[in-house]
Amino acid sequence: MTLNTEITTSLRQLHLPAFVDNYSSKATVATNDGWPYDRYLVALCELELEERRQRKTERFLRESKLPREKTWAAFEQIAAAANRPEARGCVAGGGLSGSHRERPGLRQSGQRQDPSALCPWA
């Protein structure tokens, strides 16, 4: 068994996939740039940690079953739209027709009304 095969096998048994993928290329860079061993090791550890963070985030997103379009940017757009003067009137009840006690979206006849008619800025 060659040295590279032994290293790869050992790193796989230790569950260090970023080390397996990058140890050879980083070793070349470290040799060419004259890195000490500890700098080489730190570089590999940083790669491993970053890959683990990415996999953890992806796993949490997948397990949460949240729609992908739900992002902070989308939330901030909604919040900004809700803070516009015409939106504050709708939220406070000013955009609803009739009494504040009637159910939004229902006409007097009990039929559903178009939601865009309730709040014109939406």
pLDDT in tens, 3-60: 999 999 999 999 999 999 999 999 999 999 999 999 999 999 999 999 999 999 999 9
Q: What is this structure's pTM?
A: 0.55
Q: Distances from the Cα of 71 to the Cαs of 61, 65, 112, in angstroms?
A: 11, 13, 31
- Tally Cβ neighbours within 10 Å of residue 64: 9
Residues 16, 20: Cα–Cα separation, whole Å = 6
SS3 assignment, position 112: strand
Q: Domain coordinates of the chain in residue numbers? A: 3-64, 72-118
